[in-house]
């Protein structure tokens, strides 16, 4: 990697900007880029430095880099430059494998509140590689040793920037719940949850509806927060909430793995039976 690519990667990482590094790992036949060539593509799909080939090859890498950033998963792509129609539209006579690795800032776990549930959530969030922010006037640094940021000034949710990589858990013990929910939902946070009883949760959600918040927006709130683990005590409640966050972030079903395996087998069997029936019908014809 050239000095420019190193420098730009460090600059974007320091600014908490998502980007992808594309590396040519194999070249077969004729290609304008050599193995080891690298480029950095930002979250808008622009090559900000480096080079992995020109023309349609670059366009293809940029498009796949955006997909990798969105999916938060690296991928290896093959660019066929031998066929103008079936390949990438640039008949150079070769093929090229490019490894695309997204580099993303840590997702942020914002915990509104203090107490044992909030403390345990902060510890679990740190273990799951979240940047943890605690916002509560009573939050103490020694209670949240893994917190990336602690805001314990007067209550002001404007100090938090909510976005699609922000996961918000409201555990304020019922102080200003509705204000937190308003801000988090307006900011399009990836996850908004309220730690409260079913009765208390319904009261808060009904209040938001009465205040004029659209029902589809209110419906995004996970209240009561967490998965049904039969949790007893603050530590287990925090675990149920963190389990739900991981499932939502990773696209999990939250089913028991045993049940999911059975469900997968049922789908495979159903598909196989359908193919057999189609083949039988085709044979009769």
Q: Per residue in 228-250, pLDDT tens?
A: 999 999 999 999 999 999 999 98
Instruction: Name the domain boundary from 52, 85, 103.
Output: 103
Q: What is the CATH number of the domain that holds 193?
A: 3.40.50.720
Rounded CA-CA distance 134/153 in Å is: 11
Domain assignment of residue 50, given as a range: 3-103
- Residue 273 within any structural domain of the chain: no
Within a domain: 163: yes
pLDDT tens for each residue of 192-235: 999 999 999 999 999 999 999 999 999 999 999 999 999 999 99
Judge whether 267 lies within some domain.
Answer: no
**CA distance linking residue 2 with residue 39, whole number of Å:** 10
Q: Are residues 245 and 118 in the same domain?
A: yes
Answer yes or no: do 193 and 231 share one domain.
Answer: yes
Is there a single domain that holds both residue 115 and residue 243?
yes
Cα 234 from Cα 195, distance rounded (Å): 11
Does 124 lie in the same domain as 10? no
Whether residues 89 and 117 fall in one domain: no
pLDDT for the residue 260: 72
The total of structural domains in the chain comes to: 2
User: CB of 250 within 8 A of CB of 277?
Assistant: no
Asked whether residue 154 falls in the same domain as residue 218, the answer is yes
What are 35-65's pLDDT values in tens digits?
899 999 999 999 999 988 877 788 889 999 9
In a domain, 230, yes or no: yes
Residue 255 counted as domain residue: no
Instruction: Report yes or no: 16 and 103 within 8 Å, Cβ to Cβ.
Output: no
Binned at pLDDT 50, 70 and 90, residue 142 comes out as confident
């Amino acid at each position: 990697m050239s000095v420019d690519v190193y420098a730009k990667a460090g600059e974007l990482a320091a600014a908490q900007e998502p980007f992808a590094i594309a590396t040519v790992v194999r070249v077969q036949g004729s290609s304008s880029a050599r193995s080891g060539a690298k480029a950095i593509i930002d979250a808008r799909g622009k090559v900000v430095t480096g080079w992995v080939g020109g023309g349609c090859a670059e366009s293809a890498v940029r498009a796949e880099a955006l997909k990798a950033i969105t999916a938060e998963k690296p991928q290896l792509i093959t660019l066929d430059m031998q066929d103008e129609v079936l390949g990438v539209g640039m008949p150079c006579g070769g093929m090229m494998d490019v490894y695309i690795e997204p580099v993303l800032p840590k997702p942020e776990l914002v915990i509104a509140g203090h107490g044992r549930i909030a403390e345990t959530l902060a510890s679990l969030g740190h273990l799951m590689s979240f940047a943890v922010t605690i916002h509560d006037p009573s939050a103490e640094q020694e209670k949240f040793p893994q917190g990336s940021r602690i805001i314990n000034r007067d209550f002001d949710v404007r100090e938090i920037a909510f976005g699609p990589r922000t996961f918000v858990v409201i555990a304020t013990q019922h102080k200003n719940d509705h204000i937190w929910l308003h801000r988090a939902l307006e900011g399009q946070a990836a996850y908004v949850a309220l730690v409260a009883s079913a009765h208390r949760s319904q009261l808060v959600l009904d209040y938001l509806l009465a205040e004029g918040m659209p029902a589809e927006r209110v419906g995004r709130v996970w209240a009561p927060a967490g998965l049904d683990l039969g949790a007893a005590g603050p530590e287990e409640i925090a675990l149920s909430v963190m389990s739900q966050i991981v499932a939502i972030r990773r696209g999990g079903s939250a089913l028991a793995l045993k049940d999911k395996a059975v469900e997968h087998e049922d789908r495979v069997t159903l598909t196989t039976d359908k193919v057999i029936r189609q083949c039988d019908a085709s044979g009769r014809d």
